[in-house]
């Protein structure tokens, strides 16, 4: 029993810490405002500046169009070993995206992520530096510092809504 008491104390501390950490219920991306907002319990928790695909207007239609998709998806897995400072995958393409691409006779593309800055820039995890223009192939880019916050607060799966 004496061996168990310290262990139970650690569990209680961990449980209390997790209970106090706010839960992100929704990630909302506003392409026109270039913002990503973390929402928990109906309240804005954080808002970050973002960069988008090199052709940001309109919904992603096909592989290589450099557009960021629009609609409701899920953040469905993490990728720590990305070519960028951390990445969280967006569940694009969904069934409708695949059907639209099939109608056009093209591939819908994929591998759309929220990520930090390119690793080749050698920026620190707490860096607030971002490339100054829309530069991704359709992903949503944050500063490394903002990506660290997102990585810490967002659980998998979490819904993401991307609006024009």
Q: Supply the CATH number for residue 105's domain.
A: 2.40.440.10
User: For residue 7, what pLDDT is reported?
Assistant: 46
- Residue 3: per-residue pLDDT: 56
**pTM reported for the whole predicted model:** 0.86
pLDDT at 22: 78
Print the domain residue range for 107.
22-163
Give a yes or no: residue 7 inside a domain: no
**Residue ranges of the chain with per-residue pLDDT less than 50:** 4-17
Share of the chain above pLDDT 70, in %: 87
- Number of domains forming the structure of the chain: 1
Inside any domain, residue 130: yes
**Interior/surface letters 122-152, b for 16+ CB within 10 angstroms, e for the rest:** ebeeebeebeeebbbbbbbbbbbbbbbebbe
For residue 1, being part of any structural domain is answered with no
Tell me, what's the pLDDT at 11?
Answer: 44
């Amino acid at each position: 029993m004496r061996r168990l008491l310290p262990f139970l104390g650690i569990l209680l501390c961990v449980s209390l810490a997790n209970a106090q950490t706010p839960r992100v219920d929704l990630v909302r991306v506003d392409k026109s405002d270039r913002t990503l907002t973390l929402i928990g319990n109906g309240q804005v928790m954080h808002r970050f500046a973002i960069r988008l695909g090199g052709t940001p207007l309109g919904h992603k239609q096909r592989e290589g169009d450099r557009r960021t998709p629009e609609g409701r998806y899920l953040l469905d897995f993490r990728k720590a070993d990305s070519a960028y400072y951390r990445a969280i995958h967006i569940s694009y393409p969904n069934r409708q995206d695949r059907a639209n691409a099939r109608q056009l006779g093209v591939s819908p593309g994929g591998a759309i992520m929220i990520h930090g800055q390119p690793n080749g820039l050698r920026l620190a995890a707490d860096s607030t530096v971002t490339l100054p223009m829309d530069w991704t192939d359709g992903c949503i880019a944050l500063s490394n510092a903002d990506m660290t916050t997102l990585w810490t607060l967002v659980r998998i799966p979490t819904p993401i809504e991307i609006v024009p």
